[in-house]
Structures are given as C-alpha cells and as structure tokens.
Amino acid sequence: MIKDLLSDPTTRVILCCGAGGVGKTTTAAAIALQAADQGRKTVVLTIDPARRLAQALGLNELSFEPHAVKAVPNLYAMQLDMKRTFDEIVLAHADADRARTILENPFYISLSSSFAGTQEYMAMEKLGQLLASQEWDLIVVDTPPSRSALDFLDAPARLGSFLDGRLIKFLTTPAKAGGWAITRILNTGIQLFASTISKILGGQILTDISAFVSALDSVFGGFRKRADETYQLLKAPGSAFIVVAVPERDPIREAEFFIDRLNSEGMPLAGVIVNRVSPSLAPITISESKELQKSASPELNSALDLHIENVRAKTNEERLIKTIKAPALLRIEDADGEISDIAGLRSIDLAGKSL
C-alpha cells in the first residue's frame, strides 16, 4: 500500500487520520521519511497541537514554516499555526491600513485564535498554499486525533454558514450603509433586535464585530472558493487518505467511522494501517498447550500459561482486524519501546505485505 503510493510520482498528498494514541503521528513521520529517502522533496505538516512530530523526527521544536530535518535530505517538517495562517490571508488580501485595522480588531483576534472550526479551516488553507506552491513532491498531513481529524472536510460549508448567517448579514447591512445609522435605515422592530443583541454581546463587542464585518467582503471573499478548490483536490487522483488504528475495540470503531465518512464523501481511501499488532506466535494451539501442561515442569507450565494468554490476545486482535473493510490493510508489529528518532522511524516496515 505505502510502497505503491510512494513509488507513484503523481501522489502529491497523503493524509493520516485516526483516533488518539494509535501511532498516527509516528506513522506520518515514517511515511514522509521513506518518501524523502526515495529522493522526493517531502514536507510533513502536523495539525495536532501536541508536539510529538518534532520528537519523532529528533527535533527540539517545529515552526510555522517548513523546517529542514538536517539528518535527512529532502525532508521538511512544520506545525500549523492557525492564527499566523489567518494573518497571512489578511496581509495578502488587504492594503496596509486595512490589514492593520483588521489585525488589531478584538473580534478578529478572538476569531483567529479560538473560533470553532478556525483550526480546521486554516488547515485547509495551509494545505492549499503548500499545493499551490508546486514546491513539494509530496505533502504528508498528520491530522488531529479523534473525529475532529475530518472536520476540515466540513470547513468550507461551516465557514459559509457563518459568513452567510443572519447575524452577519444584519451586521453587514448597516456597516455597508456607512456606519451604525440604525435609526435612519432600520425600522422599530430591527431597532429592538439590535438593542437586544447589544445587551447580549455588549456594546463594545458589537462595535468590534461591525468594524470587522465592514472589511469582510474585500479581504475574505476568496475564503470559501479556496477551501472548495482544496477540497476538490483532496478528492482527485494524487491524494490519498490512510486510516491508522491499533487492534483494540474503540480505535477500530473509530477507524470504521473514518472509513465510512471518507467513503460517503467520495474521498480516496488508500487503506488502513494497524499499528502495535502482536508478533506472530509459535504454532501451538491452546488445546495443545493445555495437553503439554499435564506433564510439564513448573517452569514450562508458566511459559505455556503465557503462551495461552498471548494466543487468546492474538486471536482477539485478528477478530477485530477482520471487521475492517478497506481496500488495503497493513499490519505493523508492536515495536520494543517508544520510537523517538530517525533510526526508530526507519525500523517501521511500511513496505511490508498488505494483507
């Protein structure tokens, strides 16, 4: 699965998604490393605010811009900074005075830092920027843990809902009319509505929102268009989603959710990687082990007890893995200890047989 993706020069984006704690970040780093080792100029982008990607690559920290991994030619890493990405859009689409007004606006500061969905939309924006630059042979995206990993698929619609919402339209109308001359342009009913909104939000907040909205059309008019374009690129040939899981009930259920969502969106699901699979065992069944115990020494009995326990765990793992419905499935055996450096990443057998 991974070997085929990386050997295809038309593969430009690989997105790794999965529940938290399944080794998704490590998997993304290993995929990017293997691509770089093949001579492809690769950048791995993490949306997850945790800094595990830097640790896996042996770096002290990640920055907002692609940072070269010195130990590996062709490999770069970066971490999403949603406010910096938002600021970049403002600076790129506004003159200096208007940009300064927006960047200093309290409502904008709140929106760009903590508004629901901002991180996912900015992830879509940053991915679009990386694709548009034509600088990278491959972009590997390490998404946030759990179901929010696919929230960026909803980002264009959610942003559109916000920008087209009744409150924003209400705020935009007087702003476009040249200020808050509500008494001149709105009837008594809307005056009452404005008064109520002001009491709920506070007069200053309402003023801040009004000032922000007055610049909305000229600066952010291309938001949805760019997000929609990136969304379509993710559905096109050259993009691939990989779902990462471990052989446990809850992560497998989460993987099934990802698979269903990707299929319903028509996204190109390349396959599933199941990490931390128990190693293969000696071909001795549980019944054979129990028979041997009848005449075995205490030491051998203890070893056989452990073997029986491992066989049961392995059987349960295989039962869970068989429930996964995906075009390809790659099992990766559990590693001894935490993988936290380049050598550890290279030890991951991503070219193993897909089962």
Q: Are 244 and 276 in contact (CB under 8 A)?
A: no
Residues 194, 186: contact at Cβ < 8 Å?
Answer: yes
Of 9, 69, 27, nearest to 251 by C-alpha is 27
* Distance separating alpha carbons of residues 237 and 326, to the nearest angstrom: 18
Q: Give one DSSP letter per residue of 72-99, joined into a string.
A: STTEEEEE--HHHHHHHHHHHHS-HHHH
Q: Could you tell me the maximum CA-CA distance found in the chain, to the nearest angstrom?
A: 99
pLDDT given for residue 107 in this prediction = 74
d(CA 11, CA 240): 8
* Under 8 Å between Cβ of 289 and 304: yes
pLDDT in tens, 178-206: 444 444 444 444 444 445 444 444 455 55
pLDDT for the residue 195: 52
Distance CA 145, CA 157 (A): 21
Helix H segments across the chain?
A: 2-7, 24-37, 52-56, 82-93, 96-103, 106-114, 118-133, 155-163, 166-176, 182-185, 188-201, 203-214, 216-220, 223-235, 249-265, 286-293, 298-321, 342-346
CA 146: distance to chain centroid? 9
Helix (H, G, I), strand (E, B) or coil at 144: coil
Residue at token pair 């590693």? 335
Give me the residues of the chain with pLDDT under 70, please. 48-50, 114-118, 145-150, 152, 155-224, 282, 352-355
Under 8 Å between Cβ of 1 and 330: yes
Look at residues 151, 143, 83 and name the one whose alpha carbon lies nearest to residue 114: 83
Q: According to the model, what pLDDT value does residue 328 have?
A: 92
Instruction: Give the separation between CA 93 and CA 100, rounded to whole angstroms.
Output: 12
- Length reported for the chain: 355
Q: Which are the contacts of 28, defined by CB distance < 8 A and separation ≥ 6?
A: 14, 16, 44, 46, 53, 140, 141, 142
